[in-house]
Amino acid sequence: MATVSAYGPWAVITGASSGIGQAFAEHCAADGLNLVLAARSTDRLTDLGRRLTTAHGIDHRVVTVDLSHPDGATHLITATEDLNVGLLVSNAGTGRPGRFLDQDVPDLHQRLTLNTTTHFELAHAFGRRFVHRERSAMVLVSALGAIHGLPNMAHESAAKAYVLNLGEALHHELRPAGVKVTVMLPGNVDTPIIDRFGVDRTRLPIRPLPTTTAIRQTIDALNAGHATVVPDRRLRLVTRLTPRGMSIRMNGRLLGQAAANLAARQASSGNQLP
């Protein structure tokens, strides 16, 4: 098992209520780390924390916070000041397929805060703590779409590119102080966001990777001192071999269809998009 126990005794995990964040929490708890679980859903975090405490005998703290708000990161930073945190998993993020000009500026601003500003604020605050510890680490969760622009998800691919570049730079800046930094670039990890985005699973070129496998590969990369990791060897190969322009067009078509699927779902239900 990929170990994170050296970065204890506490880990902070954002977006911990589902998907990649929840899988990170389960992995860290199994390795004996106490957890700060941060997300918007108090009920989900409380249930997860209780389950992991019962199963693994760890301590946990629930921090209910909306990290898309300008003061969200500050709230989380303040809520953990009394803890000896050695691992940050900055995972919270969101997106919405669709054309850039069809989306409202206030919503774009809110998503930019979550997908970019929150990562920078957490990395800065915890980085200052970590340089005074003997051993610590950060995982910044970006997205494979950060490696180039994504039509029909232009805003998110640009925001995630910031996280990618920030993490790659911090990997080198903080290494002399003993702080490991790895950027995770998930592309086809099997999480609820695939369905929430309206992506047709039958059109995916590669079957989605289980979250447990993605987290294990990411922690292996962190421990090995890699600046970035794309979970799934198959996807790494496809990404390397596919010409950049072709990849942009293919992903743009996939996300354009996802946007159409979401619009059809909204029309049939009469509800707002998630």
Q: Which span out of 74-88, 199-213, 250-264 was modeled with the highest average pLDDT?
A: 74-88
* pTM of the predicted model as reported, rounded to 2 decimal places: 0.91
β-strands 136-141, 34-39 pairing: unpaired
Q: What is the pLDDT of residue 208?
A: 84
Instruction: Provide the token pair at 136.
Output: 């610590």
Judge whether 94 and 111 are in contact, CB under 8 Å: yes
Looking at residue 271, its pLDDT comes to 58
Radius of gyration of the chain (CA): 18
DSSP output for 29-49? HHTT-EEEEEES-HHHHHHHH
Residue 200 has pLDDT above 90, yes or no: no
5-269 is a CATH 3.40.50.720 domain: yes
Residue 1 has pLDDT above 60, yes or no: no
Per residue in 105-147, pLDDT (tens digit) is 999 999 999 999 999 999 999 999 999 998 999 999 999 999 9
In this prediction, residues 73-98 reach a mean pLDDT of 96
Alpha helices in 40-115 (DSSP H): 42-56, 72-79, 105-112
Q: What is the pLDDT of residue 122?
A: 98
Residue written as token pair 């979550």: 114
